[in-house]
Amino acid sequence: MPKKLDWTEILPKGYLSPSAIDAYLMCPKAYEYRYVKKQKDKPSPALSEGLTLHETLAWINQQVDDGEDWNIEDALAFWDVAWVGHCHDEAFLEGYDASLEEIRERAEGFLKGWKKTHLPKISSMSTIEGRVQGVVEGIPILGYVDLIYSFKHPEVKRRKIKRLIDFKVVKRAKSERDALNSVQLGIYSILTGIRNVGFVCFNKQTKKITTTYVTLEDKHIKRVKGVVRSIAEAIKKTSFPVCDPGHWKCSEKFCDAFEVCPQGGGE
């Protein structure tokens, strides 16, 4: 009988995460530099803006779930502290699409929109920035879900529906196709058993919040399982080819490994 694979010894971190899978799908070579060779990510204003908003939304949702009083000024005070933790020096925002004042202003708009339009529709929250883990196709998986909440069924009284959502700070809103094809949402659906999933997008261009909700079917789950298995097998075989050089990610601006990658002139 063949020996059962121990994926905790094969995978660089002992498990796969949705972000690691997305990284491999984007560029296997970049995945190798980040997860196998452990090259540190370079901080960026876009990442810092996204992390700061995520942390502030998690704080707001926790206040609501705990029944605590809060207002937008409180949330912005939390945002200010969180931003300092992600801002690295005075030149950090050079070349970015917004100044600190503009970033804070659109964050305020997002937080007001979340409070006014979206929170009232939520009956209760069961997971806020929560850790989820399990096994998919024999592969250990670990990730963090932004929010799982319940809302009233539109047609059946006293019945509630659970929904799992992921927050995205973007320049282009996610479509229904994006949600149905999302490996991240698919993995979280498998681990939690929740098929009603979606994205809440905070659009930096329009400064509006948009939502995209879908119900995953068996065919979507099957596809995600296949992706997880195939990537794990590729990692086991140390298969890390470069991506298409014409891909938008394959540039010094968007890839932290570009300078050392063969695509950027490295070895």
Q: Does 129 share its domain with 227?
A: yes
Q: Does 106 share its domain with 60?
A: yes
The HSE-up count of residue 200 (CA atoms within 13 Å, CB side) is 22
- In a domain, residue 246? The reply is no
Confidence (pLDDT) at 90: 64
Confidence (pLDDT) at 153: 82
- In a domain, residue 266? The reply is no
Q: Does 167 share its domain with 231?
A: yes
- In a domain, residue 83? The reply is yes
CA atoms of 150 and 124, how far apart (whole Å): 5
- Of the three residues 120, 152, 181, the one that is the final residue of a domain is 120
- In a domain, residue 203? The reply is yes
Output 71-80 pairs: Cβ under 8 A, ≥24 positions apart: 72/108, 72/111, 72/112, 72/115, 75/111, 75/115, 76/104, 76/107, 76/108, 76/111, 79/52, 79/53, 79/104, 79/107, 79/111, 80/104
Q: Are 91 and 99 in contact (CB under 8 A)?
A: no
CA atoms of 97 and 69, how far apart (whole Å): 34
- Of the three residues 91, 120, 149, the one that is the final residue of a domain is 120
Tell me how many domains the chain contains. Answer: 2
Q: Does 99 share its domain with 133?
A: no
Nearest to 134 by CA among 243, 7, 43: 7
Regions of the chain with pLDDT less than 70: 1-3, 88-90, 265-267
Sign of CA dihedral 25, 26, 28, 34: negative
Q: Which domain holds residue 59?
A: 45-120
